[in-house]
């Protein structure tokens, strides 16, 4: 990860978010957890770099995949809260099942001050 460009990391984050969403929708918690772990490593690497690196996730807020939007909005709450909240609110209104729960619970915790940037 350390040798990857910011763009490569953002692309990989998108791929892993899509895989995580498929795994969660299929009830495959092991694969979903592995994908989440990789997302965390990518976020940590982006944060370690110049401040603009982590902001690269903002482009994914417009993804055609709702899981990519969700997984990008969660860390974006800490540096682009209005945009991120808007994305999560739309997911709560439009999605079903697991994704809706993730988006709703994330917003609730964010608004209570219970989220920490991972």
Confidence of residue 50 (pLDDT cuts 50, 70, 90): confident
Mean pLDDT score, 7-23: 96
List the alpha helices (DSSP H) in 26-96: 29-48, 51-54, 66-76, 81-94
Mean pLDDT score, 25-33: 95
Domain boundaries, the chain: 6-112
CB 24 within 8 A of CB 65: no
Q: Where is 51: in which H helix or E strand?
A: helix 51-54
CATH class of 6-112: mainly alpha
Confidence of residue 80 (pLDDT cuts 50, 70, 90): very high
Locate 7 and state its tokens.
Answer: 């763009």
Confidence of residue 95 (pLDDT cuts 50, 70, 90): confident
Mean pLDDT score, 49-76: 94
Mean pLDDT score, 42-70: 94
């Amino acid at each position: 990860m350390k040798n990857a460009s910011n763009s490569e990391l953002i692309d990989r984050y998108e791929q892993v978010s899509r895989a995580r969403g498929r795994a969660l929708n299929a009830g495959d918690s092991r694969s979903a957890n592995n994908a989440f772990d990789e997302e965390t490593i990518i976020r940590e690497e982006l944060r370690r770099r110049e401040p603009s690196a982590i902001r690269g996730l903002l482009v994914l807020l417009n993804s055609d995949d709702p899981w990519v939007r969700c997984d990008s909005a969660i860390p974006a709450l800490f540096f682009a809260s209005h945009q991120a909240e808007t994305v999560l609110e739309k997911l709560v209104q439009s999605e079903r099942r697991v994704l809706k729960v993730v988006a709703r619970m994330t917003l609730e915790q964010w608004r209570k001050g219970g989220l920490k940037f991972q």
